Amino acid sequence: MIQKHAYSELIKLKERLEDKATSLSNQLTQVKQQLVSVLTTLELLGHKTRGVTIQREGESEQGLLIFPPSEIKGLTHHEALVRIARANGNRIKITDAKQVLIAAGMISTPKNAYSILSNTIGRVGQFRKVAPGEYELPSSTKEERPLLAEAAHR
């Protein structure tokens, strides 16, 4: 008798928790849609969304993105990484960049994306490693600026 009662109570608890999970999921979806609307309006008004996550419908199922994928379409992987880094304080995490490049359609095989981006960063040598999977785009130093000016006069 006690087992049947405990079992029925667990079934009721399961149903209540499922209902609550569905309700919270719907609320989260609404908040994300409102956030996208506000960020889109800010972009249209010329406001930069630096460091702000953004997601537009159909661009990512994994979560919010650190950079709008539409702004890197047509660029090389390296150019896209530089643009993403500059928009995020000259720092980039490969996992975040991977999501943006996949959403932009620049990487056709998502399972190889991390390796592709790691190799791109290593091959070009423009980024400096600051932590595992995290890189920094160094600002041009005072020593580099005269060399750039001299090269421009040639």
| Average pLDDT value for residue range 128-154 | 66
Calpha distance 33→14 (Å, rounded): 29
Predicted confidence band of residue 135 (pLDDT cuts 50, 70, 90): very high
63 φ/ψ sector (left φ>0, alpha ψ -120 to 50, else beta): left
Report how far residue 88's alpha carbon sits from residue 95's, in angstroms, rounded to the nearest whole number. Answer: 14
Listed by start position, the domains of the chain span 1-47, 69-136
Beta-carbon count within 10 A of 22 CB: 10
Distance CA(51)–CA(67), nearest Å, equals 8
Return the pLDDT at 40: 76
Query: Would you call 32 exposed, middle or buried from its count of C-beta atoms within 10 A (0-12, 13-18, 19+)?
Result: middle
In whole angstroms, give the CA distance from residue 68 to residue 103: 9
Query: For residue 103, is pLDDT > 90?
Result: no
- Give burial (CB, 10 Å; 0-12/13-18/19+) of 95: middle
The least confident of 70-74, 120-124, 143-147 is 143-147
pLDDT for res 4 = 83
Distances (CA, A) of 67 to 39, 104, 146: 12, 10, 32
pLDDT-based confidence at residue 49 (cuts at 50, 70, 90)? low
- State the pTM of this model: 0.52
**pLDDT digits over 50-90, tens only?**
555 554 444 444 456 778 888 888 899 999 999 998 888 89
The C-alpha atoms of residue 37 and residue 135 are separated, in whole angstroms, by 31
Higher per-residue pLDDT: 38 or 76: 76
Q: Residue 118, Cβ neighbours under 10 Å: how many?
A: 14
pLDDT value of residue 64: 66
